[in-house]
Amino acid sequence: MRVWTQFTDTLGASLVFVGAAICLLGVIGMLRLPDVLSRSHAATKPQTLGLLLVLAGVALRLRSGMDLATLALIGFFQLMTSPVASHLVARSAYRTGQIEHAELLIDDLDEQLTERAPEPEPGPGPGTD
């Protein structure tokens, strides 16, 4: 049993280290990337993966039922809130003109947010008085 405990402790420490390194890469990406959409991606994807790895590593080290439930709730709320917050930041950047439209490969929001000129109402036809 002692070997199994040593193995899980080592694996947990490794997961914490790898998760922290991925979070660090996400922070470096947030500082180095040029535009809002790239920074939003760097703020969400590596941070979420890094936190989940850290939580898995801590779970391997703690092994208590209440601690595992708490860590599961932390992971669940991170998975629910981080993509939504990133989406809202990107959408507000798009609406306020912070996005270079020429650099987008596909612009799905252009059709939805562009105001169209109203069509003229049909009037009386010729020859009607």
Assess contact for 33 and 24: CB atoms under 8 A: no
**pLDDT tier, 36 (very low <50, low <70, confident <90, very high otherwise):** confident
| pTM > 0.85: yes or no | no
In this predicted structure, the answer to whether residue 121 has a pLDDT above a threshold of 80 is no
| 127 phi-psi bin (left φ>0, alpha ψ -120 to 50, beta other) | left
pLDDT of 125 reads: 62
**pLDDT tier, 114 (very low <50, low <70, confident <90, very high otherwise):** low
**Chain mean pLDDT for the chain:** 85
pLDDT of 42 reads: 87
In this predicted structure, the answer to whether residue 117 has a pLDDT above a threshold of 60 is no
Average pLDDT (55-60) is: 94
**pLDDT tier, 127 (very low <50, low <70, confident <90, very high otherwise):** low
pLDDT of 129 reads: 55
How far apart, in whole angstroms, are the C-alpha atoms of residue 41 and residue 93?
A: 13
Q: What is the pLDDT of residues 61-103, one digit of tens each?
A: 988 889 999 999 999 999 999 888 888 888 888 888 888 777 7
Average pLDDT (41-49) is: 88
Structure tokens at 87: 């989406």
